[in-house]
Amino acid sequence: MNIKPLEHLLALADTGSFSRAAEQCFLTQSALSRSIQNLEQELGGQLLDRIGKRNELTPLGREVVVRARRIVLEASELRRSAERMQGGGGSIRVGLGSGPGALLTTPLLCHAAEQHPDLRVSITRGPTELQLLQLRARQLDALVVDARRVAPAPDLQIDPLGDQPAGFVCRADHPLLQLRRVGLEQLLRYPVASTPLSDEVARLLVEQYGPAADPQLMVSLQGEEVDSLIATVERSQAVYLGILAAARDGLAAGRLVELKLQPALRSQARFAYITLQGRTEAPAMSWFRRFVSTTLRD
């Protein structure tokens, strides 16, 4: 159904006059009359009783007008939303893993507030497994997570975002820094704080340091929020294991120091941008993808 005849009927119902309705719709009276007649034919019933110079809605006409107001309003909002999206507005719903969340959440919100005030941004944090369910349920548009925690699947588009150096970080006055050499045995005298690690990372740690480096044994403070883990390390003698960029502010300010374990840690975090295969990308999501790539590269 063409929405224009509904708009013409609403104009006629509001003005009560073919001449005023035609003027409001920028039509001739004959064109407006044809539009109403075509609508009547399409609906299979009379919408107006033409009584002398007056036009009154029939029972069918009154029902159509009530529904037409909602339809025309929704169509107007739909056009407005499409225009906003094409102009850089719209909305994005993204899921961020623990590491990406620590690096991207604040810069993303600040950039959106300053450069895209019409953009609605919704960020979800939590376990990668839950976020994958939300992505598949169309509750999220994209994920930025640790690629090692995502099993390849036919319905997922997994685009690598590069590696992030990982390491151990502690307070600048930590007792371990007084030792000439720090190995796993010395490290394990203190709590180790980390996000949930993939099986692949666990295997690499065990290969490099031995069975005691299995995260299930080594990590005593675990959580998805890296910022909270870093704050705990700054206030205690816990040692953080994870991406170094997440501790960049504390490292730059001298409150935190990278702990050089022997042998040196060879593991890196591997982030990926994940969407559903075949799903059309909204303009706002194209901007988000570029923002993520640039921010992580920098």
Rounded to whole angstroms, the Cα distance separating 133 from 142 reads: 12
d(C-alpha 128, C-alpha 3), whole Å: 44
Residue 216 lies in a domain: yes
Strands (E), 141-198: 142-146, 156-171, 192-194
Number of separate domains in the chain? 2
DSSP state of 280: P
Flag whether 161 is in a domain.
yes
| Residue 250: CB atoms within 10 Å | 19
Q: Is residue 66 domain-shared with residue 100, that is, in the same domain? A: no
Statement to judge: residues 98 and 228 lie in one domain: yes
Which tens digit of pLDDT belongs to each residue from 135-157? 998 889 999 999 988 999 999 99
**Separation between Cα atoms, residue 61 and residue 16, nearest integer Å:** 13
pLDDT of residue 197: 87
Label residue 285 left, alpha or beta by phi (over 0 means left) and psi (-120 to 50 means alpha): alpha
Domain final residue, candidates 55, 86, 117? 86
Which of 46, 70, 86 terminates a domain? The answer is: 86
Statement to judge: residues 51 and 162 lie in one domain: no
pLDDT digits (tens, 9 = 90+) for 235-290: 999 999 999 999 999 999 999 999 999 998 888 888 999 999 887 777 788 889 99
> Is the domain of 103 the same as that of 250?
yes
Give the separation between CA 58 and CA 48, rounded to whole angstroms.
Answer: 5
CB 57 within 8 A of CB 47: yes
CATH number of residue 40's parent domain: 1.10.10.10
The model carries a pTM of: 0.63
**How confident is the model at residue 287, as a pLDDT?**
87
294 inside domain: no
What's the CATH number where 106 sits? 3.40.190.290
Is the pLDDT score of 2 beyond 90?
Answer: no
Task: Fill in the DSSP letter of residue 261.
Answer: B
- Measured in whole angstroms, how far is the alpha carbon of residue 190 from the centre of its chain? 37
| pLDDT the model gives residue 1 | 73
Statement to judge: residues 138 and 263 lie in one domain: yes
> Mind listing the pLDDT tens digit for each residue in 187-196?
999 999 999 8
Query: In this predicted structure, what is the pLDDT of residue 207?
Result: 93
How many of the other CB atoms lie within 10 Å of CB of 271? 26
173 has pLDDT over 90: yes
The terminus-to-terminus CA distance of the chain in angstroms comes to 51
Cα 205 from Cα 2, distance rounded (Å): 64
- The pLDDT of 42-53, averaged and rounded, is 84
Token pair of 18, please?
């073919």
pLDDT per residue over 181-217, tens digit each?
Answer: 999 999 999 999 999 888 888 999 999 999 999 999 9
- CA angle, 102 then 106 then 108, to 5°: 105
One domain for residues 203 and 260? yes
- Are residues 191 and 174 part of one domain? yes
Domain residue limits at 103: 94-270
Residues 20 and 112 grouped into a single domain? no
**Is the domain of 252 the same as that of 168?**
yes
Q: Do 70 and 170 lie in a common domain? A: no
- For residues 126 and 173, which has the higher predicted lDDT (pLDDT)? 173
Residue 254 phi/psi, 5-degree rounding, is 85, 5
Task: Give residue 121's pLDDT.
Answer: 92
Q: CA angle at residue 151 from 146 to 155, to 5 degrees? A: 110
Query: What is the pLDDT, as a whole number, of residue 283?
Result: 77
How confident is the model over 82-104, as pLDDT tens digits? 655 555 557 889 999 988 988 89
The span from the CA of 100 to the CA of 247, in Å, is 12
CA distances from 227 to 1, 83, 188, 245, 285 (A): 54, 37, 22, 11, 25
Question: Looking at per-residue confidence, does 113 or 73 come out higher?
Answer: 113
Arithmetic mean of pLDDT over the chain: 89
Q: How many angstroms separate the CA atoms of 125 and 130, rounded? A: 10
pLDDT value for 94: 95
3-state secondary structure of 104: helix
The 3-state DSSP class for residue 177 equals helix
Give the residue among 113, 114, 149 at the shortest CA–CA distance from 129: 149
Q: Categorize the per-residue pLDDT at 297 as very low, low, confident or very high, splitting at 50, 70 and 90.
A: confident
Residue 148: predicted pLDDT: 87
